[in-house]
A and B are shown apart, each in its own frame.
Chain A
């Protein structure tokens, strides 16, 4: 257990009882994990079913039909009249991930309707109105049909999930840019610990959007090849899309349901850089504060995690700042096992924190982690040596960290423990 001393977490532990994913890296948790283990890189030009572009920055796109069979079966029970075209792709991605997670948790639709369900989801693109046809027509002085406005108003992803699942309880969409998914899990943990809900569906979701795609190109943060996090010659990130969702329950609730937890959320920290709109603080000031907060929150400030799933986007600035922060918080860097999984998913923005929390628990449960896809020659200027693509590292311990950095200077970290 990594020399961990349990001093008692200030908040009751919250169990992870289900995990689900739909992304360009895999259409469920197992395929995602297998693709990581076998270095299957699904990074291609933007498919026409998403949008047309003359730019040649590749992306990690989920399948054209991203509404899984599990989702279809679940929704047939909870919302019989549901039409896929009535919601955004972000909501469909979420439905697929949530259906898988709920199935693994053994949570029935009837049970969900009998308890207070907290739904907390992170997104960036999913809360915007990016209907170009409507906007262009309106800008030209026309009065286009109001359907896209109704679609936008019905599109708050957390409210949409309540509607689709027929559940009631609190809901929130966290829009903390690329840290949204991590923060959503942290907020859901807080809601459960404070008794605001009995069960929570949390994580993140984002579809690929032409505006975000062009925005990252404009900021010169993209790579025209598959991304190479931590690599010496890394050029930037690839965007991806997907959803990563976990089912969270208080320990007593999951015990009552006789459900075996997959792991626990042990700590959460979030902190601002207070530095720059798009660039991280060079020394990872906010990330260090978020990590310190998460360590205090888990009750053990001396924890040395068995695994750190880094944000690792593949941009020069992110990877430098992130590793600097990690080296400052965990000075014995030779003991650290640090990976980025964006070489297999791309940067899924608001979904990243959800997907990467799942990767973290999968690796901790397996007792090993594949290396960082795309990293063959680590940048010698980084403050630590990440696990490279050709390695498969054994993990010594059951506690790990999943962390995110964001535009706006947001940073957040989750401390997760895998169940034996």
Chain B
């Protein structure tokens, strides 16, 4: 089975997002990473018409470069401050990289695959392709794909010192896309496939993302230097894809650390 897959909803979490009332209680102990993943997924799914999908027919796929790194450091701090055997159980369980996927699954009652992919390059695209394959093969009827970064103060300090700058171009953000079989839903465009090749680079290049460009959505555009820039740019482009026939079907992202090709269709 190879079902065409469409992008049926996109949610870019606004900077001043508000946790919906129905999620407030369940997210009261969650860190920002979990909270933003859940709220973006919730908003994206809320855009869809009601359907009869079973919980097992929906999957969640998260791509992140740094994961819940701040919570990792808080766990480490708890170990240092509270002593051996007394690390905060909540902090520790939330520092596990798939904690956000677990929350999304629980709060949106998603009982298909729950996958978290961690990669400094283009984790959202890797998650997206795995989600696309899952939908295309008929294994699931809907995939919620989330890109989320919350960074950490320690890493921001390292950035400033690496590059002798005052300001770090990072901002917490989350984006959620929904993929579905083309026949069952309306959407922005078909997602034909994603190919990624990685190259060897100096570690610092993974922090700066200097020279990362997106082509295919008009002129070549240099992306802002943070690991969610390509996610935001792709989201904007896909949302205007059906309104701008001049846009190419094949987009590519180039960076010192690799090349990614995203193939779309109307």
Is B105 in the interface zone, CB < 8 Å from A? yes
Is B245 in the interface zone, CB < 8 Å from A? no
Instruction: Place the interface of chain A in its size category.
Output: 35 or more
Is the CB–CB distance between A217 and B85 below 8 Å?
A: yes
Q: How far is the CB of B136 from chain A (nearest CB, A)?
A: 8
Is B207 in the interface zone, CB < 8 Å from A? yes
Is A135 in the interface zone, CB < 8 Å from B? yes
Known: A146-B162, A158-B119, A173-B119. A211 touches B197 (CB 8 A): no
B29 and chain A: residue at smallest CB distance: A277
A155 and chain B: residue at smallest CB distance: B203
Is the CB–CB distance between A194 and B133 below 8 Å?
A: yes
Is A270 in the interface zone, CB < 8 Å from B? yes
Of the listed residues B55, B88, B112, the one surrounded by the most CB atoms of chain A closer than 10 A to its CB is: B112
Is the CB–CB distance between B89 and A211 below 8 Å?
A: no
Using a CB-CB cutoff of 8 Å, which residues 345-402 of chain A contact chain B? none
Q: How far is the CB of B205 from chain A (nearest CB, A)?
A: 9
Is the CB–CB distance between A168 and B117 below 8 Å?
A: no
A152 and chain B: residue at smallest CB distance: B203
Known: A10-B1, A153-B203, A272-B113. A408 touches B101 (CB 8 A): yes
Cβ contacts under 8 Å, A286 to chain B = 111
Is the CB–CB distance between A127 and B97 below 8 Å?
A: yes
Is A143 in the interface zone, CB < 8 Å from B? yes
Is the CB–CB distance between A219 and B92 below 8 Å?
A: yes
- In-complex Cβ contact of B77 among A127, A128, A139, A168 (8 A): A139
A154 to B203: give the CA distance in the assembly, Å.
5
Is B69 in the interface zone, CB < 8 Å from A? yes
Q: How far is the CB of B251 from chain A (nearest CB, A)?
A: 17
Is the CB–CB distance between B76 and A132 below 8 Å?
A: yes
Using a CB-CB cutoff of 8 Å, which residues 243-274 of chain A contact chain B? 270-274
- In-complex Cβ contact of B105 among A158, A177, A297, A409 (8 A): A409
Is the CB–CB distance between A272 and B154 below 8 Å?
A: no
Is the CB–CB distance between B130 and A407 below 8 Å?
A: no
A411 to B182: give the CA distance in the assembly, Å.
28
Cβ contacts under 8 Å, A214 to chain B = 79, 84-87, 92
A5 to B69: give the CA distance in the assembly, Å.
47
- In-complex Cβ contact of A149 among B75, B93, B110, B155 (8 A): B155
Known: A175-B97, A214-B85, A293-B139. A163 touches B200 (CB 8 A): yes
Is A170 in the interface zone, CB < 8 Å from B? yes
Is A285 in the interface zone, CB < 8 Å from B? yes
Known: A156-B119, A159-B120, A274-B55. A409 touches B93 (CB 8 A): no
Is the CB–CB distance between B85 and A128 below 8 Å?
A: no
B136 and chain A: residue at smallest CB distance: A194
Show the binding face of A for B, using Cβ within 8 Å.
10-11, 53-55, 124, 127-130, 132, 135-136, 138-139, 143, 146, 149-151, 153-154, 156, 158-159, 162-163, 168-177, 183, 187, 190, 194, 196, 210-211, 214-215, 217-219, 270-278, 285-286, 289, 293, 297, 406-410
The 3 A-B pairs with the shortest beta carbon distances in the complex, nearest first, are A408-B102, A175-B97, A153-B203
Q: A55-B85, A156-B118 are in contact. List 7 more A-B contacts (CB 8 A).
A: A129-B72, A146-B162, A159-B121, A172-B119, A173-B118, A177-B96, A409-B102
Q: List 18 A-B contacts (CB under 8 A).
A: A55-B85, A128-B67, A129-B155, A135-B76, A135-B80, A138-B157, A149-B203, A159-B121, A169-B197, A171-B119, A172-B117, A175-B117, A176-B115, A272-B112, A274-B109, A285-B111, A293-B139, A408-B98
